[in-house]
Amino acid sequence: MKQVKNIVLFALLSTVTACSDSFLSLSPTDTLVEDKFFVNISDAEAALVGVYGTLQKEEAFSNVRDAADIEWAISGDMYEMDRSANRIELHSLVFPSTNTILKDMYTAAYIGIGRANMVIAKVSAMKDVDEKSQKQIIAQAKFIRALFYYRLVTYFGGVPLIDTPLDASSNLQIPRAKATEVWAFVEKDLQEAKVDLPIRWDAKNVGKVTSGACKALLGKAFLWQKKYPNVITVTEELFDEQRYKLLDEYRSVFMESNENNDEILFSTQFKESVDAEGNNLVKRTAPRGAPAEFTGGQAWSNFVPQQHWVNSHEKDGNGRIKDKRYWASIIGPGEKHQDMPAFVMPTNVPAGWSHSGFIMTKYWQKPTLVNSGVNAPVIRFAEVLLNYAEALNEENRGDDAIEEVNRIRTRAGLDDLPNGLVKSEVLDAIFKERRMEFIWEPTGGFSDLNRSGRFLKFIAAERPNYNELNVAQKPWLNTTPIVFPIPRDAWDRNKALEQNEHYSF
Q: Would 238 be classed as within a structural domain?
A: no
Amino acid residing at 29: T
**For 193-241, what is each residue's pLDDT tens digit?**
999 999 999 999 999 999 999 999 999 999 999 999 999 999 999 999 9
Q: Would 1 be classed as within a structural domain?
A: yes
Q: Which residues contact 115 (CB under 8 A, 6 or more apart)?
A: 13, 17, 19, 50, 51, 54
Whether the per-residue pLDDT at 15 is higher than 80: the answer is no
pLDDT at 308: 98
Q: Would 25 be classed as within a structural domain?
A: yes
Whether the per-residue pLDDT at 26 is higher than 90: the answer is no
pLDDT at 355: 95
CATH of the domain at 10: 1.25.40.890
Task: Give pTM, 2 decimals.
Answer: 0.94
pLDDT at 35: 61
pLDDT averaged over every residue in the chain: 93
Q: Would 137 be classed as within a structural domain?
A: yes
Domain of 130 in residue numbering reads as 1-77+96-196+483-505
Total domain count, the chain = 1
> 393 pLDDT band (50/70/90 cuts)?
very high
CB 194 within 8 A of CB 207: no
Mean pLDDT of 375-387: 98
CB 384 within 8 A of CB 216: yes
Q: Would 465 be classed as within a structural domain?
A: no
With a pLDDT cut of 90, the percent of the chain lying above it is 90
Closest Cα to residue 174, out of 26, 31, 61?
Answer: 26
Return d(Cα 462, Cα 478) in angstroms, integer: 18
453: Cα separation from own chain's centroid: 20
pLDDT at 135: 98
Q: Cis link prior to 350 (omega < 30° from 0)?
A: no
pLDDT at 167: 85
pLDDT at 31: 40
Mean pLDDT of 285-291: 96
What are the start-end ranges of the E strands in 318-425? 330-331, 359-360, 376-380
Q: Would 230 be classed as within a structural domain?
A: no
100: Cα separation from own chain's centroid: 18
Report in angstroms the alpha-carbon separations of 430 from 401, 424, 433, 437. 9, 10, 5, 10
Q: Would 264 be classed as within a structural domain?
A: no
pLDDT at 310: 98
Q: Would 120 be classed as within a structural domain?
A: yes
